[in-house]
Each structure stands twice: as structure tokens, then as C-alpha cells.
Amino acid sequence: MAEVLVLVDHVDGAVRKSTAEMLTAATRLGEASAVYVGAGAEKIAPLLGRFGAHKVYAVDSPEVTGYLVAPVAEVLAQLVEKTSPAAVLVPSNAEGKEIAARLAVKTESGLVTDAVDVAPGEGGVQTTQSVFAGNYTVTSLVTHGSPVITVKANSMPVAEAPSPGTVEAVEVSVSDAAKAAKITETKPKEKSGRPQLTEAPIVVSGGRGTAGDFGPVEEFADSLGAAVGASRAAVDAGWYPHSSQVGQTGVQVSPQLYVAAGISGAIQHRAGMQTSKTIVAVNKDPEAPIFELVDFGVVGDLFQVLPQATAEVKSR
Ligand code: FAD
């Protein structure tokens, strides 16, 4: 059975849920092998094995970790040459997409971004993709080379498929060209105590309707253990950090539950959240376009509705 390489999505060894999704998907295409860039692969291997990784290729060299994405693409290209995998799955974030593009060029392989499903196809790997800011879903068949596929977080189910997860150290050889951009300092972001926006199973977002007071949005989010998002109007007004912007020019989220409070539902906002499994809106305007999209809508003032909802959740 051909190998399927999965680039592990992690921050300093804390493996993101998207990795479990990719490994689960990989087991449908062949034998899943994780590629882990960083220190401590031995510690992480059992976790990766739990989701189906037969092997963990450990890439732990300052030649790779000390630079931006180009060396990762080179190392992956070397692994593709060595293993001729059925596919390479990479997280669909900014870094992942750059790595995927570089890798596809190096290996002369077909590239698909923002996949929400993968399956073995006639003569290649069939992918389902979310395109044009989530407005269309298309099915593609990658037939050339070792398909390079970026996988959207929160879009695929996770299943356990225990495997040994044995670790194999990768000998790294990185060109000078790939080392053009060096990492000189890394500062961790201040931790809010809330889950990460792109990973969270529940997201509560506030818009211009909050008039700058995100208190009720945050309190409701905290009662549900949710992440907090914002519309661009709220971000542009300086009410919430840019990193929390959901939409076409912000982050794309696909949680189990998305709550939009005081958000009108502009197309650019929808682009970042319309693939959420269940959508709820609170808006005082019954004609607000967001109501065309929702599973449940509450016509009302968010300053009354959200505190009531928070109290209800807390009472359970
Ligand atoms: P508004 O459209 O002003 O809506 C506010 C809503 O709050 C209204 O529906 C109102 O009825 C309701 N409301 C007011 N008071 C209350 C209350 N007390 N209780 C309940 N409801 C209340 N936008 C994004 O969000 N993300 C993006 O990534 C993004 N990218 C863009 C890229 C481009 C190129 C462009 C041109 C625009 C982009 N936008 C983006 C902006 C987008 O077009 C909208 O302007 C923006 O989403 C509006 O934000 P909003 O819904 O918070 O504000």
C-alpha cells in the first residue's frame, strides 16, 4: 500500500486537531505517515499513531526549524522522491499553502487547496474543495505526480486507527536558496484562555451591532467554551484584534456552531463562516441578510438576548 504523507500541524509540539483530521483522511488513501518538523518527535509519535500514523518522519534540524517555509518544502520534496506517496496532505493555513505550492512545483505534481474531503479516485486522488471564498464546492481528480492537497481544518471527521507510530529520523539537506529567510525571534502570542479561532468547535462573533462593547459576546462565548470572532467592521473600528476577523480577508472557520451577534451577513463575512455546521444569528433587523443563511435566528437586541442565553447556559 502506498504511503500518504501528512505534514503535522503543531505549535511547539502541541499538535492541532487538524492533524488528526488529515491522518484520518490519509488512512482512506493509503498508509498514513506523519512528517513532524520540530523537536520531540518521540513524545508525539504515540498520539500520531493513535490516528493512524504508521511512521513518523522526524525532521529536527536548525537547517529547517531556523528558517521560514522553504526548507520544509525541500525536505518534503526529498521524502516524496524517496517514498513516491499516493498524496501529501498539508494544513490549509497560510504557511501550509506556501509549502504546498513550493512542493508541487518541485515535484511537478498536481495541487489542490482547501480540500474538505479526499477519496481514492479513478487513476488518482479525488478531492472535494471549497472554492471562491466558500461559495462553491467542486470535485477534482488529481492525476499527476504525488497530489499535494491542503486540507481545511474542521472539515473532516476524526477516527482512531491505532498504529505503531514508529519514528524515523530524516537526514536533512537544505539548499542555500531555501535558507534566504531566517527566523530571528519568536514571541508567543498572549494567551486569552479561549480556544484558537480556527480550531474551536464553537465560535461566537460580534459585529458593528456591539457598538464596541464585546462584553456580552465574550461572556456568552466563555459560557460555551467558545472562541471569539469579529466582523471586519468591528475590527476596523478597533474594537477587536485583527487576528479575530472572520471572513474573506480574515480567517475562515468551520465550527460545529457559529453564532453571529450584531453582524449583517455581508458576502465577505459569509466567506469565512458559511461552512459552519450550525449557524445562529442574533440581529435586531429581521431583514438582515444573515437570516438567509442561518439554521436558527433570533430577532432581538444582542444586549438583551446574549446575557439571557449566557444565564441559561450557566444554569445547566
Ligand atoms: P454591519 O453591516 O453594519 O451590520 C451590523 C448589524 O448589526 C446590522 O445588521 C444591525 O441590524 C445589527 N445590529 C445593530 N445593533 C444591534 C443590536 N443591538 N443587537 C442586534 N443586532 C444589532 N467583512 C468581514 O466581516 N470579514 C471580512 O473578511 C471582510 N472582508 C472584506 C473584503 C473586502 C474586499 C471588502 C470590500 C469588504 C470586506 N468586509 C469583510 C466588509 C463587509 O463588506 C461588511 O462591511 C462587514 O462584514 C460588515 O460588518 P457588520 O456585519 O459587523 O456591520
Rounded to 5 degrees, φ, ψ at 156 are -125, 150
Cα gap 295→120, rounded to integer Å: 33
In sign, the C-alpha dihedral spanning 292, 297, 303, 309 is negative
Whether the CB of 231 sits within 6 Å of ligand 1: yes
Binding residues for FAD: 208, 231-232, 245-249, 262-269, 283
Q: 307 in ligand 1 pocket by Cβ < 6 Å?
A: no
Per DSSP, the three-state class of 216 is helix
Q: Whose CA is nearest to atom 11 of ligand 1?
A: 285
With a cut of 70, list the residues of the chain below it in pLDDT.
Answer: 133-134, 190-191
CA dihedral sign of residues 13, 200, 222, 250: positive
- Closest residue (by CA) to atom 44 of ligand 1? 266
Q: How much is the pLDDT for 135?
A: 75
- Cβ neighbours of residue 187 closer than 8 Å, sequence gap 6 or more: none
What would the DSSP string read from start to end of 5-32?
A: EEE--EETTEE-HHHHHHHHHHHHHSEE
Residue 248 exposure: Cα atoms within 13 Å on the Cβ side: 12
What are 132's three cell numbers? 471562491
Return the ligand 1 atom nearest residue 208 CA. Answer: 52
Which amino acid, 226?
A
The DSSP symbol for 293 reads: T
Distance 199 CA to ligand 1 centre (A): 23
- pLDDT computed for residue 131 by the predictor: 78
Residue whose CB lies within 8 A of the most ligand 1 atoms, among 213, 214, 232, 279, for a mutation test: 232
Give the pLDDT confidence score for residue 133 in this predicted structure: 66
Query: What span, in angstroms and rounded, lies between the C-alpha atoms of 197 and 180?
Result: 31
Instruction: Please work out whether the CB of residue 262 comes within 6 Å of at least one atom of ligand 1.
Output: yes
Task: Give the position, in ligand 1's atom list, of the atom nearest the Cα of 206.
Answer: 52
pTM here? 0.81
**Phi and psi based region of residue 12 (left: phi greater than 0; alpha: psi -120 to 50; beta: remaining):** left
For residue 104, what pLDDT is reported? 98
- If you take atom 4 of ligand 1, which residue's CA is the nearest one? 264
Which residue's CA is the closest to the ligand 1 atom numbered 27?
247
